[in-house]
Amino acid sequence: MPALPAFTDLDPAPRILLGPGPSMIPPRVLRALATPATGHLDPDFLAILDDVRHLLQFVFQTQNELTLAVPGTGTAGMEAVLSNLIEPGDQVLACSAGYFGERLALMAERHGAQVDRLQREWGQVFETEVIQQAVQRKPYRLVTLVHAETSTGAWQPEIHAIAEAVHKAGAMLVLDVVTSLGGLPVRIDAWDIDAAYGASQKCLSAPSGLAPVTLGARARQAIARRRTPPSVFYLDLESLQRYWVEPHAYHHTSPIQTVYGLREALRLVYEEGLEARFERHQRLAQSLWHGLESLGLEMLVPEAVRLPTLTTPRLPPGTDDAEVRRRLRQEFNLEIAGGFGALAGKVWRIGLMGHSCRPENVALLLAALRTILNPSAD
């Protein structure tokens, strides 16, 4: 066996994270991560799970009993919802206007669904009437929709009206809220959403590795009527629910410290208040938009449906995407992301999520871009 190199202490650069996720982790959450571990069935830890469940109900704005955090990233939440609600042969309508709308379609196909795609160009959103007409063509079991499309920066409006149309057609609505939960309104009960999932590392500013999930009555009844158990044991939501609530039947070894971090991050959301948090994200996003436009950058998404949590300016003609992002990292310690899929090399993705959504970060990014893009102006 060859000799191993010397391994030094961990020392990654303390980046200012302004990409599509993860967001920056607040100091209080970092301190919570250092809390000593307990057993995953210790009464003290089970009480912490109960805290997390109630705080997630607050953030989701729901009374759904099945509200918990699936171990894994947002993709695990997506997989959990689809694997529990789909049986082979089910008809699914996937509304796809970006990478994650298409991922829902591909994942549903892997679970044996017959998937029809309702498509829009990347950066566009869906009119309620279009979805209403589409769901009347077949007896769909599920309709999948992305509330906040991370690949494009578009925010889907009229969710309540879309849910109403889907239910009138006899289907259920699955909503991806990965880049909206904790950053803009997500009203599960008021909108009558059947199932939704998010991610811990975006607007909640917790460590990655947990995916908040909530299921309403229709979804739970659908699971109870399944002909076979969900295909993925680890993501069986009813079994996970029995671990999260009394009498707490064993299901898996919970990621203890990650749960600690999520609890503290959710407590910060609760202390700030949802409306104040939404206002902060909207106000600073508008400041960012105005600043980017003053630099001559055009936004991909119209303001009426533009995400406050994820902005996608088009690259100026002749701009070297990778070089600009390299200089932002090396000279200003800032991270933003490029586009991918249909938008690769065409946009930047700038995230203002949770703890990253701060006025000093907006000011620094705009100053850094001004220096890089317009050096003669300095």
Exposure class string for 244-269: b at 16+ Cβ within 10 A, else e: bbeebeebeebbbbbbbbbbbbbbbb
The helix/strand/coil state of 133 is: helix
Regions of the chain short of the pLDDT cut 70: 376-378
What does the angle CA 206 – CA 212 – CA 218 come to, to the nearest 5 degrees? 165
pTM of the model: 0.96
Give residue 378's pLDDT.
53
Q: What is the DSSP letter of 187?
A: -
The helix/strand/coil state of 277 is: helix
Q: 27-270: which CATH number, 3.40.718.10, 2.60.40.650, 3.40.50.300, 3.40.640.10?
A: 3.40.640.10
Give residue 85's pLDDT.
98
- Nearest alpha-carbon partner for 98 in 29, 18, 20: 20
Residue whose token pair is 């982790």: 25
CA–CA gap between residue 309 and residue 354 (Å, rounded): 9
Give residue 375's pLDDT.
74
> Counting Cβ atoms within 10 Å, is residue 47 exposed (0-12), middle (13-18) or buried (19+)?
exposed
CA–CA gap between residue 150 and residue 83 (Å, rounded): 22
Residue whose token pair is 């300016």: 313
CB-CB contact of 94 with 105 (8 Å): yes
Domain limits, CATH 3.90.1150.10, in the chain? 16-21+274-377
Domain limits, CATH 3.40.640.10, in the chain? 27-270
pLDDT more than 90, % of the chain: 95
Neighbours of 341 (CB within 10 A): 12
Per the CATH hierarchy, to which homologous superfamily does domain 16-21+274-377 belong? Aspartate Aminotransferase, domain 1 (3.90.1150.10)
CA–CA gap between residue 279 and residue 302 (Å, rounded): 19
| Residues whose CB is less than 8 angstroms from the CB of residue 76 and which lie 6 or more positions away in sequence, other chains included | 70, 211, 235
Summary mean pLDDT of the chain = 96
Could you read off the pLDDT of 79-92 as tens digits, one per residue? 999 999 999 999 99
CA–CA gap between residue 269 and residue 357 (Å, rounded): 13
Distances (CA, A) of 76 to 55, 186, 219, 279: 20, 20, 18, 29
Give residue 377's pLDDT.
59
Give residue 14's pLDDT.
87
Token output for 11: 């020392």
